[in-house]
Amino acid sequence: MIPEIERTTSSKIKSFQEEKLKELLEYVAKNSPYYKRVLKQIGVRPQDINSLEDLVKIPVTTKEQLQANNDDFLCVPKVQIIDYVTTSGTMGEPVTFALTDKDLERLAYNEALSFACAGVMPHDILQLTTTMDRRFMAGLAYFLGARKLGAGIIRVGAGIPELQWDTILKFRPSYLIVVPSFLLKLIEYAKQQGIDLRSSGVKGAICIGESLRDQDFSLNTLGQKIKGEWDLQLYSTYASTEMSTAFTECPEQRGGHHHPELIIVEILDEKDQPVAEGEVGELTITTLGVEAMPLLRFKTGDMVMAHTAPCRCGRNTLRLGPVMGRRKQMIKYKGTTLYPPAMDNVLNNFREVESFVIEIYHNSIGTDEILLKISCQQPSETLLQNIKDHFRSKLRVTPKIEFHAPKEIEKLKLSKLGRKPVTVIDRRN
């Protein structure tokens, strides 16, 4: 199942998207109180935007703007809304997203495409190991996508390795939908219980929330760890509530494929201008076909690189490389630009390291400093040196590293909002 538009030439994809963009602009100029206001303020009419290049005439939408004007983004009367979800905002209050029946249909189509991209067939069974409720969009999207594709799905939900394995052995799913680090927990449980991983029948994992690959698409430390224990096909997928769209790897596993009928992609620099081809920038998206809360040039905060060469799978669409990190967490350190996930990746190499937090702060001359606080059973000079050497070879720089008691690290990791433990503490602002 590869839609015709994904196989066609890049110029045809571009003009297809330009048509969709015009429809979207007409729609928001009529129905979105927020965008109506913005377009009026800058004096741009829908007919002034005729190409993707014209997009720069429209201001970007930030997370802060979405949060501050949440209700004004709604384009339909409340009575048309079926599903309400929330996503954590940048400060305090979460942002509400509303979906109409048509939006749920779009979400189902998106996820069916995404599964198909990862090779899932109607005869496959998927095991959902993430939560379906709690106002999240993702779990529901997976369910709807499986249904649309005609594949089976078992909604186990988050956690509980025992129930996960009971389900795997009982229903023989062929794919897991899973956060990669949870795969490590499943592997550990299987080892303890003497479950044979190879005869489990699971052949692949659709992995969300954490990167599995380096920028050259080779497996990172986490990916290698999983693959070393359990020979699964690992597919990365990247999505967010705001995008209502997923970028999922095909079997070539060279970045998440763009689906042109669902979203417009821009990669922007700090001045909101498109970066040159092959450069890293902030992923900025315009949703297509969204009815309740379409977004125009929404800045996701994620730093990525786009790959435009045709893929061997037959798709001609753009692919997004692994997310390098959050724009706000970009660190300029000793002449190098780096992001916390790259440091996670280095530290994941060390079994001895039990837990850690990355602190970022400004030193007395106002430039960025990094302090890694690490806990382990037996801190030693040798280990410290090994970690430093590894940083130097992988990232070309070595941050300051300190050993701390496990309790201290755990305390630092407790986030104020409490959704998940923090590993990065940014003290720069």
Whole-number minimum distance, CB 114 to Zn ion, in Å? Answer: 12
Nearer CB in complex with Zn ion: 8/88: 8
Whole-number minimum distance, CB 113 to Zn ion, in Å? Answer: 12
Nearer CB in complex with Zn ion: 297/319: 319
Nearer CB in complex with Zn ion: 62/233: 233
Nearer CB in complex with Zn ion: 258/299: 258
Site residues (CB under 5 A) for Zn ion? 250, 252, 311, 313, 315
Nearer CB in complex with Zn ion: 322/340: 322
Whole-number minimum distance, CB 262 to Zn ion, in Å? Answer: 16
Secondary structure (3-state) at 283: strand
16 vs 261: CA distance, rounded Å: 8
Write phi, then psi, for 146 (nearest 5 degrees). Answer: -60, -45
DSSP 338: E
Rounded to whole angstroms, the maximal C-alpha distance in the chain is 67
**Does an H or E element contain 373, and which?**
strand 368-376
Whole-number minimum distance, CB 320 to Zn ion, in Å? Answer: 12
Nearer CB in complex with Zn ion: 80/233: 233
Secondary structure (3-state) at 202: coil
Whole-number minimum distance, CB 234 to Zn ion, in Å? Answer: 15
Whole-number minimum distance, CB 257 to Zn ion, in Å? Answer: 6
**Does an H or E element contain 19, and which?**
helix 10-31
Secondary structure (3-state) at 94: coil
Whole-number minimum distance, CB 1 to Zn ion, in Å? Answer: 13
User: Which amino acid, one-letter code, is at 77?
Assistant: P
Whole-number minimum distance, CB 249 to Zn ion, in Å? Answer: 7
Q: Count how many Cα atoms sit within 13 Å of the Cα of residue 273 in the half-sphere of its side chain.
A: 2
User: Which amino acid, one-letter code, is at 285?
Assistant: I
Nearer CB in complex with Zn ion: 252/352: 252
User: Of 331, 313, 189, 207, nearest to 254 (Cα)?
Assistant: 313
Nearer CB in complex with Zn ion: 18/252: 252
